[in-house]
Structures are given as C-alpha cells and as structure tokens.
Structure 1
Amino acid sequence: MTAQYDYKLDHKQLTQWYKKNHRDLPWRANKDPYRIWLSEVMLQQTTVVAVIPYFEKFLTKFSTVHKLANAPENEVLEAWAGLGYYSRARNLHKAAKALSAQGFPQTAAELLELPGFGPYTSRAVASIAFGEKVGVLDGNVIRVLSRRFGLKLEWWNNKGREQLQNISDELSKLGQADVVNQGLMELGATVCTPQKVTCILCPWASACVAREKGLIETLPLKKPRKESEVWVWKPQVAIKDKKVALITNDYTPFLKGQMIFPGEISKEKSKPKAYDAKHNITHHDIFIQITAKKSLTGKNLQWVALKELKKVNPSSLLQKVLNKVEA
C-alpha cells in the first residue's frame, strides 16, 4: 500500500492542523531529549492529565539525566510512586546511567539498545528530539491510521504492525518528522479517540475511509484479550521492631526481582473459597491467603523498616497485605 499511495496531501493537512491545534504540554517546551524521553516513558499506560504533575515533580527532583543516574534506586521508585508499572522506573534508571556516561544517541537504532527503549520510545525520542525521519506507532497512531485508510489489520501481529509502521515511516519522511509524529499522536488523543470521535475537527475527515464506510466503531480491530489467570499467593508476614521481612522475588510471576514477602504461590483453575484479600496485576488475579509470623529465619531475608517499605517497593499489593495484618 505504501508504494502506491501518495501521502503528500495527508502530510500537509496533518502538519497544518498540528501547528494550529496542538496542546502546550511541558515536555514540548524544548527539544531536550531527557525531557522527551521521560515524558514518553511516563505516558505509557497513563493519561496526559495524570502524567503532568508527576513529570514536573520528577524533573524538580532529577533535573538532568546525570542527577537521575546518580540517584539511589529507592529514591527513583519513590518519585515514581503512583504511576504504576515500576519496571518502567527501573529501566529508566538503568538507561540513565548509560546515557549519563555516553550521552544521548541520536538514532532510533542506537537508542533501541538501551534498557526500556522499545521500538516506539526509540523512534519517538529520535524523531522529536533529533529530527530523525522515522515514524512512530503507538495506540493513538494505530487507531488514526487504521481509520484513515480503512485497514482491518491484526495490528498486534508482526505483519499488520509492519504495514502500519510503513505508513507512519512514509509520512515522517515528507517533512518534519517531529511534527508529523506528534501530529498523529495528538490527533488520536484529542479528536480520533476510542469512543468520542470528533470528525468535524479532523484534518483528514473528507478522506477518511472509516468515516465514509461506517467503520469508525469497528476500527482498529480489537486485540483478543489475554485470559485471566487465578493465582493463590500465601505470603508469610513477619514484623518485629517496626521492621518487616522481605526477600528478592524469584517465585511469583508478578513483581519479578522486586522485594516482596516470602511465601508460596500456585496457579489454580478457580478462585479459592476463602482468602484475605484480592489484587490484580495485568492478567493475574491474585487471591491472598496471609500467614502472620512472629519470626522468620533465612539467609536471604532482609528486614526493612515499615516506614521505608514504599521506597523499597511502592506496589500497592504489599501495602494491601500489611493493612490486613495490622487490622
């Protein structure tokens, strides 16, 4: 499709629309790659409205990539608390150490080698900060392009994703890649949204295939949901001298490598009849059966002050268990 279609008009309309209608967001104030990268990581799984105060607070504490690199991990996690998906913060910290030492690579291919830099983040930073002519592909862009060109693609599979990526790349080559990419994302975030579509404000309304054929509600295709899994977690919670016993998690499929309570876990076909609390992390339905211990022994145990727990692991799961124990 990309070889046969002339994208010049689409590019022109999108560029003009973005320059007139884009929101003034704090990470758009300049081309600082650190700020752009931080915003892109924070915006994964989180809305713009929710991210802005976290972004500003985080930058106040870690104003440069060097300050972030030199900070202890627990301080980074504490500043991230509330945004969820803490592996993002850990990868951010790891990548900051490399970037502080070597500087920011200016191409998506080089950025892709860093921790936490997937295809989207690499392309976003390279195009917005450094002007590399590469297209981006996130949820907003997938939706906009699927509707504009009437594409019934399984975008979660390599073949469908590659076709959409090629279109995004072609558009980015025609002018300022930073404007094109941000234009596509802005269009998806403010006009061509999942539910409330405002076609009258869209620069591509007259050419939109989905609008013409009544496909707006069915495009993009819906990705099949991953089936939920039932897990019964039996944490052992020992508290003494206002400290709690934790281990580095090597036994549960969630919060891997993080500090959690020792215990046991099993995958079940159905939820248990009795449990103390329930928690969800992605497709894991976690039913918690707590065992309170007066003491615990083990060479891998670490005793952490209760008031420091959120710094060690800010996940609400641990706090939920503690609240049950202390109730």
Structure 2
Amino acid sequence: MVARAGRDGYAEERGSGRAGERDGRARGLRAAGLALAGALLLGAAAAGWAYWHLNGNIRSVDINGALGDDRPARPVTAPSAAASEDPPPTGALNILVLGSDSRGGEENRELGGGDSEGARSDTAMVVHLDPGRTSATVVSIPRDTLVTRPSCPLPSGGTTREAQGAMFNTAYALGGPVCAVKTVETLTDVRMDHYIEIDFSGFARLVDALGGVTVTTDADIDDDRSHLRLDAGTHHLDGTQALGLARTRYGLAGGSDLARIELQQKLVRALLERISDAGLLTDPAKLYRVADAVTGSLTTDTGLDSLGELTDLGRSLSGLSADAVRTVTMPVVPAPWDDNRVVAREPDARELWESLR
C-alpha cells in the first residue's frame, strides 16, 4: 500500500510537473503571439500612417479639366499583342517637368531663389519616355525663349490674353501650371500626358535624403545669387549645393541660361545614377526619407496625384538606366531684336518635337 501510494504519489508528482511545463510553454506561446500580433498591428498602423502622410504630401492641378479638348491629339497606342498579369507599358509618354519656388518663399530665398514676389519657374524640361520605358529623351527649354504665350484659363476665373514674343517662363508666373502646359503644347504641338512640378527647397531635401550627388564641373563657379562657389573639378554636393548648381547662372561665363542648362542636365544624370545606386529597397528608413522628400516637393496633374499612381509610374521605369537617358536642349538662336533672348531655331526645333510625338 505504501509502495503503491509512493509510486502513485511519484506518478502524480511527475504528471504535475509535465502539466506545469505544458502550461508554461502555452503561456509563453500566447505571450509571443500577442507580442507578434502587437508588432504586426503597430507595423500596419505605421505603414498606414506613412502611406497617408506621403499621399497627403502631394498637391495636384486638374490640367485636363482646365484645358479641355483644345490641345494636341494623343498618339494612338496599339493594343498589346498578348495579355499578361503585369504587361509592360505601351506607347510613348510625355511629361512636362518644372522646377519652381512655389511652396516655400522664405526657404527658397535662403537657397538662392531671389527676392521677387510670386512663384517662378526657372527650369523646364519635357521628358519623353519611349514605348516600353527603356529609353528616354529629356529636352530642356531655355527660360529666356521668346514664344507665343496663348490665352490661358485662370484659377480665379477668366482668361489671360495671348501675347506674342513673351518670355517662356512668364507663362507659369502669370497662369500657373495650366498656362505652362498650354504654352509648351503651343510651342511644341506635342501633347503633355502628365505634369510634374518640383519645388526647389524640396529638391534640396531630396538630394540630402539620398546622401548627396557627385557632379563634375568644367569651369570655376562663383555666384553670389545662388550662394555657390566651386572650383572646376569633381564634387560631392549636398542638397543646398546641388540646388545652387541647378540655379546658378551669373557665376558662369557670360551669365548664359544655356550654360546653366548644361549644368542642370549633368545634375539630372547624377541624380538618376545616385537613385539607382542608393539601395533604397534594402534600407526602408532611407526609402521613407526619400519618398517624403519627393512627395513633399511635388505638384502633379490629377493623373499622378496619388502614391499608387506615382509608384506605378516608377515601376514602369524599372528597366530605364541613366545611360539610356538622352539630354538635349531645344535648338535656339539669339533673338534678332534682343541679344539677351533666344528664339527656336527652325527647322531643327520642329524636327526635334516631331520625333517626340
């Protein structure tokens, strides 16, 4: 009896130990599960907040609604030969990209934006993406080009008057993005499928988020207006310096807008290479900083005014390398009546724009 009681007692004690271990493991698993669920919820909340924040950064303008049908025709796109879950993009795409100081006047002035009132556009590029998105042409339009500025609808109602021999960059100053697009389409007879405006102060933040860019200059630069001083040679620039390089003009020989465009085109290439080499997909923190800087500096047309639409455009460019991007300037000659202004050089300019339709 005692022995059995002892054996039974031993068995019961041993059974109680196993039950305790099982209960401990169960409690540990429940705690781990709760911790994991909490982490997932926090991660989802953070991701949701980040998406909401980035999406809310973007401003947009309804270009299509403002201009209606009085525009160059869209090119006809052939249907894809074979259906797939993720078909490659088909048809060319033309995007007007402007650099402006429209968002932060004081910050932009500190970065060399000058003292003038109102928003200005110092940089204008037509980005042509070829079918398949494996090559691109970037055409710079000098701000000093004399053009026919068409009548443009104003956000407040009414329209502007058509003007002959107006400086190209007055279109944006007078009528904002809508007038800039209409003026470019009048000049080129090329439909702008999208509009992207990059604020100068936001551009500086983007370069800083990427860790700077490396650019080689062929001549010394000393420009008090853009706060930039560089000896000829290769330099790794931070955001403020890169913006100064994009805007510098009076520190160049002759104060030429065409010389400034050459620097801007070098900067575009350097920025594309830096984005390609930055390893954004393996560094979520850097990716967020870059995305915040990009979206915080953008004004787009309504076709690109969400993070999803911008992401889709970016995905379509995954096969585009910096080496496949050609940078050119619209052919111009000095205006016969003003050596400080230029006009389109024909027929070269017309042939360039025809190649982008």
Superposition TM-score tier, normalisation by shorter sequence:
under 0.3
What TM-score do you get using the length of structure 1 for normalisation? 0.23
What TM-score do you get using the length of structure 2 for normalisation? 0.22
Higher strand share: 2
* More contact order relative to length (CA 8 Å, sep ≥ 6): 2
